[in-house]
Structure 1
């Protein structure tokens, strides 16, 4: 009887997961992330899971996570982009020089409200043009993406150096710096409003998906399973916002703010940071990229081409132009990542984005994107970026040397590919 109960327990667990239609790969990534957090929290005597460290971990993840969403499309179409870190540096250099040199020469003084928008637009155009050019070399001239982007890794890193004459450029515009994280947040009230909106949108999305499946006569989960997913989503959103709100602004900073306003800070007054603007940018990118992947013709073409390039071309898909579009999207996302990275530093430095190509590819692969093409998710790539940053942050906190950190990251990348291969063999996935 005991053996029968023991055998039935795993079966019930599998049936429960099947009923909820939970991606087992996603479940494994979440489990790995939880294990990483617990291990480092124990090793740091509870400092890893403090609101302050979680806040810092969040803003440090954003730039890599933004690029990882684009890397999903690149890898899904059976290509690779080794130039993302160098392209980030070039876009960052262009935005920095626009703010500190080009626009002031045109009469726009430092502090002008047009400086940040124009600089960001220049960065986005730079990323789109360079990314599209690399995609043209791959798609129309049939040069392997590995070679094109390996060359890009060397070219664009040094283009960024020449743009700035090897100098650190800063300080950057104050409005521009708001996208860096700690300097620009919603505050506690705005964050709670965002959390409520997020919960409502999550519930509507789950229920709308259920109604759509019913309308098309597809099988649906039990109502209790839908409610359980809504509840889990609500708890995660509210918990995340609560943790970020718990990280309080230092009293000396608040005191300076009150002094600037000609007031004295009330005794016992405190204020939380809340959700950073950079995280809002990541959320916006994730939503747009998910919609593109699931709801648009471009997304269908990307996954169809990755699944079988020859069949896709025979069906009428212009795979060459599609390659240009995918690399142009990657370039735009590199520019957004450059915005976040340089804004967080408040200046452009020559080493910005160094080794980000490793982190971005690792994030996409850990997140379940198959190097064979045709398979990948946006949310998986973001979770993969969070796992990678958690590893690096945790190792830094326990005193692991930077070279050994890179050794660990490289090992994790190889392990992730091995796990992907084993998973696909066992599940029969292609």
Structure 2
């Protein structure tokens, strides 16, 4: 029996290539964001959001890397909202040229434009802004978090499939809400739909007590419609909209049917195993930023194992090539778009209890990949940095 196992191990190692003796370091760099007060504390922000996914990714890389002679290390750098983010990036660069960034869009761009990161590789795991994949793209940044456009496109595909064409929307007052609402409008136009009416959320009452009175009055103005979209990026007021609308209609967007990079409701394609491992390690469910950080670290691991490269320029070149793919527990291989560095991935549409659909949906075709029907395709990207 031992002879058979030894022979099988030898065959597997030979197939994988020569045994290496590499020490690969990955740095996780986060700038905390000062969060405004919300109406509900039912979904508190975990202290280990994001970094928990990176830790699991390192553990997964180490499992495979043991057979390849690889050693994987994760260093963690976190600064306060008013802290020295540039200093944290410089400290990370002293250790490695592979950085997983958990920060706002502005902070990400500042890091990408630092002289020391010119030949480094940064992974965006927290900023959903679509322009980061378009006119504001940087050649040294790859994105494992979906853009807002990918999320809103996924929801519009579902509406088209269901023939829900009479759309209305409640738009929140914060900058992120407005950006999300604009993305919904752009996605609706992309798929031949339109948002007929929009109402702004202006209430400052305690909705835990007054939702049954305030929400019907706000939604009465919409008249007849098929579905109501809530553009509330922090899910502050949106949670109070279902079952309180004037018309008995479904709610989608920030509450009800929600598009997200990841959800505890995703269980197919081996995802339940990833979910359970994460829960055992952290005591909570995996969230989209956790998944994005996990995918970034696993993408590095897959590229190192498959290509034998260990430096950022070599790994970037391989990840953007047709040879790279990542098994991300989403039913299809995940790859990076060579025109803007966005990780192609399906978008689950879920409610709080179950998976409803997985976009891209059947019937939405593309000459290269159906995943490219979500978000900025090559002709509309406007990203010049990746063409150099």
Greater relative CO, 1 or 2 (CA 8 Å, sep 6+): 1
Query: What TM-score do the two structures reach when normalised by structure 1?
Result: 0.23
Greater share of residues in helix: 1
